[in-house]
Amino acid sequence: MQSFELYLPVRLVYGSDSVEKLGAAAAPYGRKALVVYGGGSVKRTGLLDRVKKALAAFEIVEFAGIEPNPRVSSVNAAAKTAREEKVDFVVAVGGGSVMDAAKAICAGAKYDGDAWDLVKDSSLIKDALPLFTVLTNAATGSEYDAAGVITNWETNEKQAISSPLLFPKASFCDPAVSTSLPAWHTAAGAADIMSHTFEQYLVKEGNDVSDGFCETILKTVIKNAPICIKDPENVEARAAMMLASSFGCCGLLAIGNTPSPWPCHAIEHEISAWHDITHGVGLAIITPHWMRYSLTPETAPRFARYAVNVWGMDPKEDPMTLANAAIDKTAEFFASIGIPARLSDVGVDDSHFEAMADHIPTCWWPLSGALRPLDREGVLAILRASL
Ligand code: NZQ
Ligand code: ZN
């Protein structure tokens, strides 16, 4: 087992009455809140009204319009509002994009300059406003981690901002809130949760505890995502997905494992930076191709474990046969929940592939640490196979 540290200082509040607990949790942090949300789903569903009611004792300033793949321009505008209005804390009401933007807003409000500086160099984050999140979908796990992913359209970069100062103080998760999520984003969220798990599970060395966590998360998504798509109002299935999301990205799944450089995320962020595609959809398209690239006689036993423990295949088969069958199953699953199979299906062409491959080493962990080490040619091979 590898050495590790796990630090999860977020109060995770689940349940149908969770949103109503926001006011009491925020009370020690001040009297004025910046409530940040996206394109309007939280207005349509009534969640924003619930949040405002929970914050009835506070002064509220609203900032609407955070985009999927949130832009640094929105972050800068909201951080300016937070400074001018002298808010005491920020409440993100939304999915990964709103929560991620809110993290950058919390840091940006305490920084005298362009928030992009903080994305490029998170060591510049010396202070941040306290953050609370009200989660609306099962996908990124941003409600339970200290990272956000921000896009800069001027430079075609999509990069993480990360600091222990950006952990939410508390996240409020009512699974029923996610019943309004459309099928496309339900499927994308499922793929994102699975990808977070693969990134930590399909590594050189795991252990019985972390492998068991990963297998449970994968089986949970494989069982419940199709239910959520067929029966969007099924709160039990939505709850299982939301829990899987919260624990997918917080580091728990990787305890004691060989550290992973998250290769599929490295590649997907580059694609989104140029083409603004849905994160989970990009991951679902790339993942089977990354798996095929990574499958060698040395790595086959890892995939075989996945085949047996997640897909219930016969352990007596040889590892290579099992591995190939599990990769096929993975691709079939993504297709079954309505995700297209090719990058060209979502408007991506190969015109920026070289730039993407060149950019990864400037902003990401070395992909030489992946299950099968990935160099520039390897990244290009996966991109071309995914096209
Ligand atoms: O903007 P609104 O109107 O709210 O609509 C959103 C948006 O259009 C909609 N939506 C969310 N909850 C809903 C809903 N519609 C109806 N009912 C609901 N309950 O869904 C659309 C997508 O939302 P978004 O927040 O973009 O999705 P997601 O949660 O998948 O977040 C994706 C972003 O998170 C980043 C991704 O790169 C991407 O930018 N990630 C963040 C991570 C982190 N912080 O740790 C890790 C991830 O790997 C990921 O990179
Ligand atoms: Zn992700």
Residues 6+ apart with CB under 8 A from 140: 95, 96, 99, 100, 189, 192, 245, 249, 279
The model's pLDDT over 114-170, given as tens digits with 9 standing for 90+, comes to 999 999 999 999 999 999 999 999 999 999 999 999 999 999 999 999 999 999 999
Ligand 1 site-directed mutation target among 279, 286, 364, 365, most atoms within 8 Å of CB: 279
Has residue 143 been placed in a domain? yes
CA gap 387, 382 in Å, rounded: 9
Q: What is the pLDDT of residue 105?
A: 99
Do 120 and 242 belong to one domain?
Answer: no
**Which of 177, 211, 232 lies at the terminal end of a domain, its last residue?**
177
Q: Which residues pair with 62 in a beta bridge?
A: 35
Do 278 and 152 belong to one domain?
Answer: no
Has residue 6 been placed in a domain? no
Ligand 1 and 162: CB distance under 6 A: no
Do 172 and 201 belong to one domain?
Answer: no
The model's pLDDT over 71-113, given as tens digits with 9 standing for 90+, comes to 999 999 999 999 999 999 999 999 999 999 999 999 999 999 9
- Indicate the helix (H) or strand (E) that contains 286: helix 279-294
Q: Sort 49 into a burial class: Cβ within 10 Å, 0-12 / 13-18 / 19+.
A: exposed
pLDDT, average across residues 332-359: 98
**Which of 177, 193, 218 lies at the terminal end of a domain, its last residue?**
177
- Indicate the helix (H) or strand (E) that contains 311: helix 300-311
Ligand 1 and 130: CB distance under 6 A: no
CA of 110 to the centre of ligand 2 (A): 27
Has residue 64 been placed in a domain? yes
Do 293 and 369 belong to one domain?
Answer: yes
CA of 379 to the centre of ligand 2 (A): 18
Domain count across the chain: 2
- Boundaries of domain holding 284: 182-386
Closest ligand 1 atom to Cα of 70:
39
CA gap 93, 51 in Å, rounded: 8
Strand 32-37, strand 89-94: pairing: parallel
Q: What backbone torsions phi and psi does residue 113 show, to the nearest 5 degrees? A: 165, -170
Ligand nearest to the CA of 100: 1
Taking CA atoms only, the protein residue closest to ligand 1 atom 22 is: 68
Has residue 1 been placed in a domain? no
CATH code of 334's domain: 1.20.1090.10
Do 122 and 229 belong to one domain?
Answer: no
**Which of 144, 177, 210 lies at the terminal end of a domain, its last residue?**
177
Do 77 and 198 belong to one domain?
Answer: no
Q: What is the pLDDT of residue 250?
A: 97
Q: Which amino acid is at 183?
A: A
Has residue 348 been placed in a domain? yes
Which residue matches tokens 């999915």?
A: 95
The model's pLDDT over 221-279, given as tens digits with 9 standing for 90+, comes to 999 999 999 999 999 999 999 999 999 999 999 999 999 999 999 999 999 999 999 99
Do 169 and 57 belong to one domain?
Answer: yes
pLDDT, average across residues 331-347: 98
- Whether the model clears a pTM of 0.85, i.e. scores above it, the answer is yes
Do 108 and 144 belong to one domain?
Answer: yes
Q: What is the pLDDT of residue 155?
A: 97
Ligand nearest to the CA of 147: 1
Ligand 1 and 245: CB distance under 6 A: no
Tell which residue, 81, 92, 158, 68, has the closest CA to residue 119. Answer: 158
